[in-house]
Copies of this chain bind each other. A is one copy, B any other.
Amino acid sequence: MRVIISLTEENYLKAIYTLSHLFEESEVSTNQISDHLNNKAATVTDMLKRLSEKKLIHYIPYQGVKLTEKGRQTAIKVVRKHRLWEVFLVDKLQFKWDEVHEIAEQLEHINSDELIQRLDKFLGKPKFDPHGDPIPDANGQLNIVKAIPLNQHKIKGLFTFVGVCEHSKTFLQHLTSIGLKIGDTLKVEEINEFDNSFKVKINKNNSQFFSNKVASNILVEIKK
């Protein structure tokens, strides 16, 4: 008794999944969802009733919502597809990392298990997408990224750039113009007390300043 999940429903499930991780709370509110999807709250309420009916979410009126196991599996599969397609677009079709999100938003709804499995293999079973986000495996398991934003490390020293918090086109293009790519080594030489900017060397290049806003949106690991 396989229930059919529409494209719209998939987007709601993905939004709930994303928001619950973003705010590290299990309950997601109607307004959070309506903001995220650019829908009105009333519209969201209607959909929540339908998703609840289909046992994809636990919904208590006025109390917010969380995914059931079935809902979580569905959401994570959409995320898996999204990220795999982004890898395809960048690695195989030479798109830039700031150009792929909108296309992946469409491709993530293509429905074929065989296709995902073969695409995954074709791409070499990648673990991360072009933005450093982890790709859930076929069983829905996902490497939790323990990286934290650069500005939360209050220390000088060597870091590896492993991902971004902000995924907007403008931010990604900004990083490109700075000359920063996933995997680069960052040497923090100074932390400026005045404006909390960071003086940083990318790989072996000249040093430059990262604003605190930039530093707060790039995820790094301490380099071993």
Contacts and interface: CB of A to CB of B under 8 A. Distances in A.
Interface of A: 89, 92-95, 99, 102-103, 106-107, 110-112, 114-115, 118-119, 122
Main secondary structure of the interface of A (DSSP, over half): helix
A103 B118 contact: no
Nearest to A118: B93
A111 to B, nearest CB: 7
Contacts of A89: 115
A102 B94 CA distance: 27
A1 to B, nearest CB: 22
B122 A93 contact: yes
A97 to B, nearest CB: 14
A112 B107 CA distance: 11
A106 B110 contact: yes
B106 A111 contact: yes
